[in-house]
Amino acid sequence: MSAKIANILFIGDVVGNSGLQMVSRMLKGFISKYEVDFVICNGENAHNGKGMSLEALNLMLEAGVDVVTGGNHTWNNFNFFETLKTHDRVLRPQNYPKGTYGKGHGVYKLPRGLGNITVLNLQGRTFMYPIDCPFRTADWVIKQTKEQSSLVVVDFHAEATAEKLALAWYLDGRVSAVIGTHTHVQTADERIFPKGTAYLSDVGMTGPYQSVIGMQVKSAVDRMLYQTPHKYECATDDVHFAAVLLKLDVETSKSVGIERIFYPEFETTVPQG
Amino acid sequence: MSAKIANILFIGDVVGNSGLQMVSRMLKGFISKYEVDFVICNGENAHNGKGMSLEALNLMLEAGVDVVTGGNHTWNNFNFFETLKTHDRVLRPQNYPKGTYGKGHGVYKLPRGLGNITVLNLQGRTFMYPIDCPFRTADWVIKQTKEQSSLVVVDFHAEATAEKLALAWYLDGRVSAVIGTHTHVQTADERIFPKGTAYLSDVGMTGPYQSVIGMQVKSAVDRMLYQTPHKYECATDDVHFAAVLLKLDVETSKSVGIERIFYPEFETTVPQG
Amino acid sequence: MSAKIANILFIGDVVGNSGLQMVSRMLKGFISKYEVDFVICNGENAHNGKGMSLEALNLMLEAGVDVVTGGNHTWNNFNFFETLKTHDRVLRPQNYPKGTYGKGHGVYKLPRGLGNITVLNLQGRTFMYPIDCPFRTADWVIKQTKEQSSLVVVDFHAEATAEKLALAWYLDGRVSAVIGTHTHVQTADERIFPKGTAYLSDVGMTGPYQSVIGMQVKSAVDRMLYQTPHKYECATDDVHFAAVLLKLDVETSKSVGIERIFYPEFETTVPQG
Amino acid sequence: MSAKIANILFIGDVVGNSGLQMVSRMLKGFISKYEVDFVICNGENAHNGKGMSLEALNLMLEAGVDVVTGGNHTWNNFNFFETLKTHDRVLRPQNYPKGTYGKGHGVYKLPRGLGNITVLNLQGRTFMYPIDCPFRTADWVIKQTKEQSSLVVVDFHAEATAEKLALAWYLDGRVSAVIGTHTHVQTADERIFPKGTAYLSDVGMTGPYQSVIGMQVKSAVDRMLYQTPHKYECATDDVHFAAVLLKLDVETSKSVGIERIFYPEFETTVPQG
Ligand SMILES: [Fe+2]
Ligand SMILES: [Fe+2]
Ligand SMILES: [Fe+2]
Ligand SMILES: [Fe+2]
Ligand SMILES: [Fe+2]
Ligand SMILES: [Fe+2]
Ligand SMILES: [Fe+2]
Ligand SMILES: [Fe+2]
């Protein structure tokens, strides 16, 4: 591998203990296999499916994660706010309004003399909360961090495909990658935009797939059928690891490769007797 | 290929003239390559990106499509309502309320003595319109059509991954496939559920990818930046074909294979000089 | 007062203990002052601002209420579901889907030989949950109950003024009154529609007005400022009683009078020194 | 009337030609009757129910209006944007993002040596578009305009009662009045907050009441029944004038009186034969 290429592994929303265990068990192997230099991991659902905890954060860091990003569920566990305020390896979306706990981007050192990388966590607004504009927030962070690092990877935690694609076009050539999270379903649209920004609409969930995006099937179906509250219960079975590997050219700050990872693969054929 | 396996090709949201041309140019080749028995195609964006027209319908049928399904945009072109009422090869979501034009499912004859197939078009409600319950509507249609055909393919036109997965679990073993449309982004989660229902969260768009889900980039970005109306203009460049191939066992009515198609593939690596 | 006129008092969303106390203290006086024959009271927020309880229900019934209606918050307190299933004096919106606990309408006996009255609880869908159609549900209940009673009072628990007015026009002449709840703000648009249906967009809240619709000001403002969760705390101060008095002509089933009640009145002038 | 009290008339959303005619016919009389010093009028629906036009603006100004405010519909008529950019008597919500046409507040001269008044137009975000924060935008404008005028009247164009009340508590004592628009239904909760800010959740519509918030009844009901597009048609019959009169103490910048106006009043009793 070229000395000028940074290999970044980006892991999608880790859900609950089964997701955390999957990360603990598998990550070192992936790091070794893909010669990974830096690991970003969305952890907004690590604490029993809803929010974050110091314990979950430590588990991920020990497993080999370098920085944990967040999303709308970051705020579910009030006990995590102290950590969120002070820990430099955990982010929440930058475009939450001023006065919110925590920080939304960080500049981190890469190994092998590859320089620094900026990780920027943003959140969408379509079908979500009316927080600050993610487009303008990105402009501001790019300007702020430019001198420390021109490699920028964005975790865009958003629901609507239109908003994700609009941000990717808006940032094409100005950040190294725009990677979507939040829907818990991996998309198949990985590509490199014309000016060098790698893009994937959603990395998907690292967690239990005998579920509705991580939630026990019965409660999730009942919520739809009756439109009344049904207790959230985190699912546990059929755990998969969802991630994307980015290859960033440190000289140009552009992406030169993007590859989806989903392990183990789903069954797509049924053996016939 | 076994005489007992029906090969169904399901094409995702065709957007505008460039999408229609792609279907006209490519479909015959895919039919031949995959020995396709029946073609379902979501056409809600065929008429300039918004709605349907008789002309677009005829183009798709001539290209080899057997039945055209719809979605929320079906209602954008008032001129299409007459056709929607009477034509037996075009559907709109079944769970629009009583009194709405058109029909939401049809039973069609397969070639090669494979019997009949029911195509059922449903629409989600999360982040969309409060129409009738798609879960209960599916129950009703399955019961209605059971004697004519036990093969059922569902086009579930929906936004939220949770709603799509909940419906798949709800219908697992009772329909042959639940295939999502509407987000215009192909997902990578094709699988066969435990009781034999094939599933894909979204087939993705057949249309111009130098766009925000089919719309010109500038207007789409401006809508996000300013939150004011900006004229919808259909994009035209970088057209791709998005579909999924289903293999249905005619004896058991279950799926035995599911394979995504996206043509041409996106660039995921950049050659380095 | 004519023997043919039924005086119905309809009390708006009772919030928490302070709201319950207001009902206990004031209702008997209002019943006597206005010669009230029947009292309907929306109780979806009676249990600490969120949901219902058997205790709250009993307090309202003892205070003189005849039937307690509900809304989206009815489902917040799981402990109430047993009562909801069996008690004949408590309703939840009728248009929740089949399989939901409780019932959405009841036919009750009026005093003074005035016959029966149907109370129908419905919920809107604009900006709310996608439950069954309130318009068609109203049609069905009117038909069902016609022989037992032609007096029908609707509690339409809804957010959007457009949906409330649309239902009123749709039901004009077929029910005696359409009375809105849910926004916790009394509207000033009481009127009798051309065919005899009395209408008020919202009765308003019976509860603490030093609040944001019943919630402590600080948490409510913080939710808006930061778009993160802030614990719901029920307010307690500046309690007012919000209701509307309906005069129904028992022979024609139409309304002949509608009068808002808000006690004590707000200060609208400031004395100048 | 005291020389120190400024009488401000605030007219609610004027809908279409029938609303404009009502303003033309009635406003001079109200100005004279209430000794009005300054007239604010929400005009977002003046142009056939959707948006604004130069013609509508001129009609309102000629009728006696001093400044026309806007809302979400301001952007419906593309032809108005030139006027919006340059005319100093028309506003659109201040908290639309940077780069949007027009301005969101103005400082205007009052007659009788009463000094200046700041009119600030804001828009809510709950159930509306994710524009900038109205709370923080208000802070900024208050600071900006403080030296020119300490009288501030806010037109808060918003859907949710919670958001309206939260802003009123947030601004209590810092602006003279927070007056809601947008729902087209006048509320009955006019009051003066503890620190002197006058408040009304909504002024209501100046326009045709044989309608669903200004729209022809049939199309509006059909939209709800079928959840498909039905052409917007502006209603024309049963026109009422909705406004609120504010009495501002020029020395303290606080409100000393608030009075609703609705003309002609609705029928609330039916004569019995
Ligand atoms: Fe997540
Ligand atoms: Fe999320
Ligand atoms: Fe589509
Ligand atoms: Fe769609
Ligand atoms: Fe309520
Ligand atoms: Fe409610
Ligand atoms: Fe309006
Ligand atoms: Fe509006």
Q: Which of B73, B72, B109, B115 is nearest to B89 (CA)?
A: B109
What ipTM was reported for this prediction? 0.97
What is the structure's pLDDT at C73?
A: 98
Find where tokens 């309102």 sit: D60
Given an 8 Å threshold on Cβ–Cβ distance, is B133 in contact with C133? Answer: no
What is the structure's pLDDT at B227?
A: 97
A147 burial (CB, 10 Å; 0-12 / 13-18 / 19+) is exposed
Find where tokens 């120190």 sit: D4
Which position among B73, B87, B105, B230 bears the catalytic label? B73
Instruction: Using the mean position of ligand 3's atoms as its centre, give its distance from the Cα of residue B160 in Å.
Output: 14
Largest CA distance in chain C: 63
Residue D62 CA to residue A98 CA, distance in Å, equals 44
Reported as a pLDDT band with limits 50, 70 and 90, residue C271 is confident
Say whether pLDDT at C13 is over 80.
Answer: yes
pLDDT tens, position by position, C181-220 = 999 999 999 999 999 999 999 999 999 999 999 999 999 9
Residues of chain A with pLDDT under 50: 1
Show the CA angle centred on residue C185, arms to residues C184 and C188, nearest 5°.
145
Q: What pairs with residue A187 in β-bridges? A: B187
**Residue B269 within any structural domain of the chain:** no
In this complex, which of B98, B125, B136 lies closest to C130 when CB atoms are compared? B125
Task: Find, in chain C, the residue whose alpha carbon is nearest to that of B124.
Answer: C130
Among A157, A201, A211, A254, pick the best mutation site for testing chain B contact (most B Cβ within 10 A).
A201
What is the structure's pLDDT at D8?
A: 98
The beta strands (E) that lie in chain B are given as 5-11, 38-42, 67-69, 105-109, 116-123, 152-157, 177-181, 191-192, 198-200, 207-208, 239-249, 255-263
Cβ contacts (< 8 Å) between B268 and chain A: which residues? Answer: 190-192, 257-259
Q: Quick one: what percent of chain B has pLDDT higher than 70?
A: 98
Residue B122 CA to residue B120 CA, distance in Å, equals 6
pLDDT tens, position by position, A241-257 = 999 999 999 999 999 99
Residue D58 CA to residue A21 CA, distance in Å, equals 68
Show the CA angle centred on residue D130, arms to residues D128 and D134, nearest 5°.
90
Question: In sequence order, which residues have a C-beta less than 8 Å from that of residue D152 and are 6 or more positions away?
Answer: D117, D118, D119, D120, D141, D142, D145, D174, D175, D176, D177, D253
What is the structure's pLDDT at B1?
A: 47
Given an 8 Å threshold on Cβ–Cβ distance, is D268 in contact with C256? Answer: no
Annotated binding site of B: 13, 44-45, 72, 157, 182, 184
User: Distance (Å) from the C-alpha of residue D39 to the closest C-alpha of chain B?
Assistant: 27
Question: Residue A146 corresponds to which tokens in the numbers above?
Answer: 């430019």
What is the structure's pLDDT at B271?
A: 82
Q: Is D229 helix (H, G, I), strand (E, B) or coil?
A: coil
D184 carries a ligand binding annotation: yes
Residue B154 CA to residue B176 CA, distance in Å, equals 8
Write down the pTM of the prediction: 0.97
Cβ contacts (< 8 Å) between D98 and chain A: which residues? Answer: 136
Residue B165 CA to residue C59 CA, distance in Å, equals 44
Range of the structural domain that residue B131 is part of: 5-263
Number of domains forming the structure of chain C: 1
pLDDT tens, position by position, D55-99 = 999 999 999 999 999 999 999 999 999 999 999 999 999 999 999
Identify residues whose C-beta is under 5 A from ligand 4, the ion. Answer: B 71-72, 182
pLDDT tens, position by position, D174-208 = 999 999 999 999 999 999 999 999 999 999 999 99
CB of B46 within 8 A of CB of B73? no
pLDDT tens, position by position, C171-184 = 999 999 999 999 99
What is the structure's pLDDT at B2?
A: 54
Question: In sequence order, which residues have a C-beta less than 8 Å from that of residue B221 and are 6 or more positions away?
Answer: A135, A166, A169, A170, B212
**Residue B58 within any structural domain of the chain:** yes
Question: Residue C20 corresponds to which tokens in the numbers above?
Answer: 């319950």
What is the structure's pLDDT at C149?
A: 94
**Residue C270 within any structural domain of the chain:** no
CB of A207 within 8 A of CB of A216? no
A13 carries a ligand binding annotation: yes
**Residue D269 within any structural domain of the chain:** no
* Closest listed ligand to the CA of D19: 7
Local structure of residue B153 (DSSP, 8 states)? E
Q: What pairs with residue A221 in β-bridges? A: none
**Residue C268 within any structural domain of the chain:** no
**Residue C156 within any structural domain of the chain:** yes
Q: What pairs with residue C262 in β-bridges? A: C242
Report DSSP letters for D258-273, one per residue. Answer: EEEEEESPPP-B----
Tell me the helices (H) and strands (E) count for chain B, helix number first: 6, 12
Q: Which of C132, C126, C139 is nearest to C98 (CA)?
A: C132
**Residue C273 within any structural domain of the chain:** no
Residue A101 CA to residue C251 CA, distance in Å, equals 63
Instruction: Using the mean position of ligand 2's atoms as its centre, give its distance from the Cα of residue D234 in Å.
Output: 41
What is the structure's pLDDT at A273?
A: 55
Question: In sequence order, which residues have a C-beta less than 8 Å from that of residue A156 and are 6 or more positions away?
Answer: A122, A123, A124, A134, A164, A167, A178, A179, A180, A181
What is the structure's pLDDT at D271?
A: 81
Q: In 10 A of CB A67, how many CB atoms?
A: 23
Task: Find, in chain D, the residue whose alpha carbon is nearest to that of B131.
Answer: D227
Q: In 10 A of CB D35, how many CB atoms?
A: 11
CATH of the domain at B252: 3.60.21.10
Say whether pLDDT at B190 is over 90.
Answer: yes
pLDDT tens, position by position, D26-37 = 999 999 999 999
Q: In 10 A of CB D99, how many CB atoms?
A: 10
Say whether pLDDT at B32 is over 90.
Answer: yes
Does residue C73 carry a catalytic annotation? yes
Question: In sequence order, which residues have a C-beta less than 8 Å from that of residue A249 and are 6 or more positions away?
Answer: A4, A5, A255, A256, B272
Residue A272 CA to residue D113 CA, distance in Å, equals 92
Question: Residue C138 corresponds to which tokens in the numbers above?
Answer: 């109203």
pLDDT tens, position by position, C84-133 = 999 999 999 999 999 999 999 999 999 999 999 999 999 999 999 999 99
Question: Could you tell me the CA-to-CA distances from C26 to A8, A215, D260 in Å, in that order?
Answer: 68, 47, 27
Say whether pLDDT at C1 is over 80.
Answer: no
Given an 8 Å threshold on Cβ–Cβ distance, is D188 in contact with C183? Answer: no
- CA B201 to chain CA centroid, nearest Å: 11
Residue B182 CA to residue B156 CA, distance in Å, equals 8
Report DSSP letters for B82-111, one per residue. Answer: HHHHH-TTB---TTSPTT-SS-SEEEEE-S
What is the structure's pLDDT at B19?
A: 98
pLDDT tens, position by position, C17-38 = 999 999 999 999 999 999 999 9
Q: What is the CA radius of gyration of chain C?
A: 18
Say whether pLDDT at B38 is over 50.
Answer: yes
Show the CA angle centred on residue A210, arms to residues A208 and A214, nearest 5°.
45
Mean pLDDT of C222-235: 96
* Closest listed ligand to the CA of A128: 2
Question: In sequence order, which residues have a C-beta less than 8 Å from that of residue D51 and are 6 or more positions away?
Answer: D44, D45, D73, D74, D75, D76, D77, D80
What is the structure's pLDDT at A186?
A: 98
Q: Quick one: what percent of chain D has pLDDT higher than 90?
A: 97
Reported as a pLDDT band with limits 50, 70 and 90, residue C3 is low
pLDDT tens, position by position, C136-172 = 999 999 999 999 998 999 999 999 999 999 999 999 9
In this complex, which of A97, A125, A136 lies closest to D133 when CB atoms are compared? A97
CB of C210 within 8 A of CB of C235? yes
**Residue A272 within any structural domain of the chain:** no
